[in-house]
Structure 1
Amino acid sequence: MEQEYFSLTDAAKYLGYGSKHVVYDLIKAGMPVIKVGKTMRVSKTAIDSFMKAHEVVTDEK
Protein backbone atom coordinates (compact mmCIF):
# COMPACT_ATOMS: atom_id res chain seq x y z
CA MET A 1 0.00 0.00 0.00
CA GLU A 2 1.36 3.37 -1.00
CA GLN A 3 1.50 6.14 1.61
CA GLU A 4 -0.88 9.05 0.86
CA TYR A 5 -0.10 11.41 3.76
CA PHE A 6 3.43 12.47 4.63
CA SER A 7 5.01 14.13 7.61
CA LEU A 8 6.95 17.23 6.57
CA THR A 9 10.20 15.28 6.79
CA ASP A 10 8.81 12.48 4.62
CA ALA A 11 7.38 15.04 2.18
CA ALA A 12 10.86 16.56 1.83
CA LYS A 13 12.31 13.11 1.14
CA TYR A 14 9.59 12.45 -1.45
CA LEU A 15 10.57 15.70 -3.18
CA GLY A 16 14.26 14.78 -3.03
CA TYR A 17 15.33 17.25 -0.34
CA GLY A 18 17.15 16.53 2.90
CA SER A 19 15.39 19.18 4.98
CA LYS A 20 11.75 19.80 5.84
CA HIS A 21 12.42 23.56 5.67
CA VAL A 22 11.91 23.36 1.91
CA VAL A 23 8.41 22.03 2.58
CA TYR A 24 7.70 25.02 4.85
CA ASP A 25 8.62 27.28 1.92
CA LEU A 26 6.23 25.38 -0.36
CA ILE A 27 3.45 25.68 2.22
CA LYS A 28 4.07 29.45 2.40
CA ALA A 29 3.81 29.49 -1.41
CA GLY A 30 0.37 27.90 -1.21
CA MET A 31 0.80 24.14 -1.08
CA PRO A 32 -2.13 22.68 0.92
CA VAL A 33 -1.39 21.16 4.31
CA ILE A 34 -3.52 19.24 6.79
CA LYS A 35 -3.26 20.38 10.41
CA VAL A 36 -4.42 18.18 13.27
CA GLY A 37 -3.48 19.72 16.58
CA LYS A 38 0.22 20.54 16.35
CA THR A 39 0.82 17.97 13.62
CA MET A 40 0.98 18.80 9.92
CA ARG A 41 0.61 16.32 7.08
CA VAL A 42 0.85 16.82 3.33
CA SER A 43 -0.91 14.52 0.91
CA LYS A 44 1.04 13.01 -1.97
CA THR A 45 -1.73 14.17 -4.30
CA ALA A 46 -1.40 17.77 -3.03
CA ILE A 47 2.39 17.71 -3.54
CA ASP A 48 2.07 16.33 -7.08
CA SER A 49 -0.67 18.82 -8.02
CA PHE A 50 1.21 21.79 -6.54
CA MET A 51 4.43 20.86 -8.30
CA LYS A 52 2.65 20.34 -11.63
CA ALA A 53 0.88 23.71 -11.30
CA HIS A 54 4.26 25.42 -10.74
CA GLU A 55 6.13 23.63 -13.49
CA VAL A 56 8.23 25.96 -15.65
CA VAL A 57 10.07 25.13 -18.84
CA THR A 58 13.48 26.76 -19.16
CA ASP A 59 16.33 26.52 -21.60
CA GLU A 60 18.98 26.65 -18.87
CA LYS A 61 21.62 23.94 -19.14
Structure 2
Amino acid sequence: MTEYFSYKQAMNYMGFTAPRTLTEYIKQGLPTIQVGKSKRISKSDIDKFMADHRVVATQDK
Protein backbone atom coordinates (compact mmCIF):
# COMPACT_ATOMS: atom_id res chain seq x y z
CA MET A 1 0.00 0.00 0.00
CA THR A 2 1.23 3.44 -0.86
CA GLU A 3 1.98 6.11 1.73
CA TYR A 4 0.36 8.90 -0.30
CA PHE A 5 -3.26 8.61 -1.40
CA SER A 6 -5.24 10.50 -4.00
CA TYR A 7 -8.38 12.02 -2.51
CA LYS A 8 -10.44 9.12 -3.90
CA GLN A 9 -8.03 6.54 -2.42
CA ALA A 10 -8.10 8.41 0.92
CA MET A 11 -11.91 8.32 1.01
CA ASN A 12 -11.84 4.59 0.23
CA TYR A 13 -9.27 4.00 2.99
CA MET A 14 -11.45 5.91 5.49
CA GLY A 15 -14.58 4.08 4.39
CA PHE A 16 -16.79 6.72 2.79
CA THR A 17 -17.59 7.96 -0.72
CA ALA A 18 -18.86 11.52 -0.19
CA PRO A 19 -16.32 14.19 -1.20
CA ARG A 20 -18.15 16.59 1.13
CA THR A 21 -17.09 14.42 4.09
CA LEU A 22 -13.44 14.62 3.04
CA THR A 23 -13.76 18.40 2.65
CA GLU A 24 -15.10 18.62 6.22
CA TYR A 25 -12.20 16.52 7.55
CA ILE A 26 -9.73 18.82 5.79
CA LYS A 27 -11.46 21.86 7.33
CA GLN A 28 -11.10 20.17 10.73
CA GLY A 29 -7.34 19.80 10.24
CA LEU A 30 -6.60 16.74 8.10
CA PRO A 31 -3.30 17.69 6.42
CA THR A 32 -3.04 17.59 2.64
CA ILE A 33 -0.07 17.73 0.27
CA GLN A 34 -0.14 19.68 -2.97
CA VAL A 35 2.63 19.62 -5.57
CA GLY A 36 1.58 21.46 -8.68
CA LYS A 37 -1.92 20.25 -9.51
CA SER A 38 -1.47 16.94 -7.68
CA LYS A 39 -3.20 16.70 -4.30
CA ARG A 40 -2.41 13.85 -1.93
CA ILE A 41 -3.07 12.82 1.66
CA SER A 42 -0.55 10.83 3.68
CA LYS A 43 -1.76 7.52 5.15
CA SER A 44 0.06 8.29 8.40
CA ASP A 45 -1.64 11.72 8.57
CA ILE A 46 -5.04 10.05 8.13
CA ASP A 47 -4.26 7.54 10.88
CA LYS A 48 -3.11 10.31 13.24
CA PHE A 49 -6.11 12.54 12.43
CA MET A 50 -8.55 9.71 13.08
CA ALA A 51 -6.81 8.71 16.33
CA ASP A 52 -6.81 12.35 17.51
CA HIS A 53 -10.58 12.54 16.91
CA ARG A 54 -11.43 9.27 18.61
CA VAL A 55 -14.34 9.58 21.04
CA VAL A 56 -15.16 6.95 23.61
CA ALA A 57 -18.92 6.64 23.95
CA THR A 58 -20.37 6.46 27.42
CA GLN A 59 -23.71 5.03 28.37
CA ASP A 60 -26.15 7.40 30.03
CA LYS A 61 -27.97 5.90 33.01
Cα distance in 1, alignment partners of residues 16 and 35 from structure 2: 24
Extract unaligned runs of 5+ from structure 1.
Answer: none
Tell me what 1:56 maps to.
Answer: 55
Aligned length: 59
| Secondary structure, counterpart of 1:10 in structure 2 | helix
Tell me what 2:4 maps to.
Answer: 5
Identical counterparts, % of pairs:
42
| Secondary structure, counterpart of 1:57 in structure 2 | coil
Which whole-Å deviations, capped at 9, do the CAs of 1:25-54 have from their partners, x for residues lacking one? 111111111011122100100000000001
| Aligned residues: CA RMSD | 1.3
Kept in 2, the 8 Å contact 1:9–1:19? The answer is: no
Query: Is 49-58 or 32-41 further displaced after alignment?
Result: 32-41
Displacement over 6 Å in runs of 4+: none
Kept in 2, the 8 Å contact 1:11–1:20? The answer is: no
Tell me what 2:24 maps to.
Answer: 25
